[in-house]
Chain A
Amino acid sequence: MLDFSILTNYTDLFLEGLKITIIVSLIALICSFILGTLIAIMRIAPFKLLNWVGTAYVEFIRNIPVLVIVFFTFLVGNFGGMIAGTIGLTIYTAAFIAEAIRAGILSVPKGQMEAARSTGLTYGQAMRMVILPQAIKIVIPPLGNQFINLVKNSSLLAVVAGGDLMYQGDLISAMTYATFDTYIFVGLFYLIITIPLSLGVNFLEKRMARSN
Chain B
Amino acid sequence: MDFFAPFIEVYTADHLRFLLEGFWVTLKVAAASIVLSFIIGGIVGTLRYAKIPVVSQMLAVIVETIRNLPLLLIIFFTYFALPEIGIEMEITAATIAALTVFESAMISEIIRSGLNSIEKGQIEAGRASGLNYIQTLRYIIMPQALRRMVPPIVSQFISLLKDTSLAVVIALPDVLHNGQIIYAQKESYVVPVLVMVSLMYFIVNYALSMIARRLELKQI
A joins B in a complex: yes
Binding site for B on A (CB under 8 A): 59-60, 62-68, 71-72, 75-76, 148, 151-156, 158-159, 166, 169-170, 173, 178-180, 182-184, 186-187, 190-191, 194-195, 198
* A contact residues around B158 at 8 Å (CB): 63
Q: Does B128 contact A (CB under 8 A)?
A: no
In the complex, the answer to whether A173 meets B68 with C-beta atoms within 8 Å is no
B197 contacts A68, CB within 8 Å? Answer: yes
Return chain B residues, CB-CB under 8 Å to A71: 176, 194
Identify the closest chain B residue to A60 (Cβ). Answer: B202
Decide if B206 touches A183 in the complex (CB within 8 Å).
no
Given contacts A76-B190, A155-B70, A190-B73, contact A63 B169 (CB under 8 A): no
8 contacts between A and B (CB under 8 A): A63-B205, A64-B198, A65-B164, A65-B176, A71-B176, A75-B183, A179-B80, A180-B81
Known contacts A66-B162, A183-B77, A152 near B168 by CB under 8 Å? no
- From A76, A151, A183, residue with most partner B Cβ within 10 Å: A183
* B166 at interface, CB cutoff 8 A: yes
Give a binary string over B53-81; 1 marks a CB under 8 Å from any A CB, 0 the rest. Answer: 00000000000110111111100110011
- List the A side residues contacting B70 at CB < 8 Å: 151-155, 166, 190
Interface size range on B against A: 35 or more
Q: Please, which residues of chain A bring their CB within 8 A of the CB of B202?
A: 60, 63-64
Q: Once the chains are docked, how many angstroms separate the CA of A155 from the CA of B197?
A: 21
Q: What are the nearest 3 A-B pairs in CB distance?
A: A63-B205, A155-B70, A65-B165
- With A63-B202, A76-B191 known to touch, is A68 a contact of B71 (CB < 8 Å)? no
Give residues 64-121 of B contacting A (CB, 8 Å): 64-65, 67-73, 76-77, 80-82, 84-85
Chain B residue with the shortest CB-CB distance to A192? B68
Complex interface: chain B residues within 8 A of A158 (CB): 72
Bound Cα distance from A158 to B166, whole angstroms: 11
CA–CA, A195 and B67, complex, Å:
9
Are B165 and A148 in contact (CB-based, < 8 A)?
A: no
Residues of chain A within 8 A (CB-CB) of B165 are 65, 67-68
Measured CB to CB, the nearest residue on chain A to B199 is A64
Residue of A nearest to B205 (CB): A63
User: Are B68 and A166 closer than 8 Å at their CB atoms?
Assistant: no
Q: Are A194 and B168 in contact (CB under 8 A)?
A: no
Tell me if A195 and B76 are in contact (CB < 8 A).
no
Report the minimum CB–CB distance from B165 to chain A (whole Å). Answer: 4
Q: A-facing mask of B195-213, CB < 8 A → 1, else 0?
A: 0011001100110010000
Beta-carbon nearest neighbor of B210 in chain A: A59
* Bound CA–CA A198/B109 (angstroms): 14
The answer for the CA separation of A151 and B202 in the assembled complex, in Å, is 24
Q: Please name all residues of chain B whose beta carbon is closer than 8 Å to the beta carbon of A67 when the two chains form the complex.
A: 165-166, 168, 176
In this assembly, does B21 line the interface, its C-beta being within 8 Å of a C-beta of chain A? no
Asked, given contacts A59-B206, A76-B191, A191-B65, whether A64 binds B72 with beta carbons under 8 Å apart, the answer is no
Residue of A72, A75, A154, A190 near B68 (CB, 8 A) is: A190
When the two chains form the complex, which single residue of A75, A152, A154, A194 contacts B190, counting CB atoms closer than 8 Å?
A: A75
**Min CB gap B192→A, angstroms:** 11
Instruction: Compute how far the CA of A212 lies from the CA of B71 in the bound complex, rounded to whole angstroms.
Output: 34
Q: Which residues of B are found within 8 Å of A148, using beta-carbon distances?
A: 68
Which of B64, B70, B77, B85 counts the most chain A CB atoms within 10 A?
A: B70
- Decide: B201 and A64 in contact? CB cutoff 8 A: yes
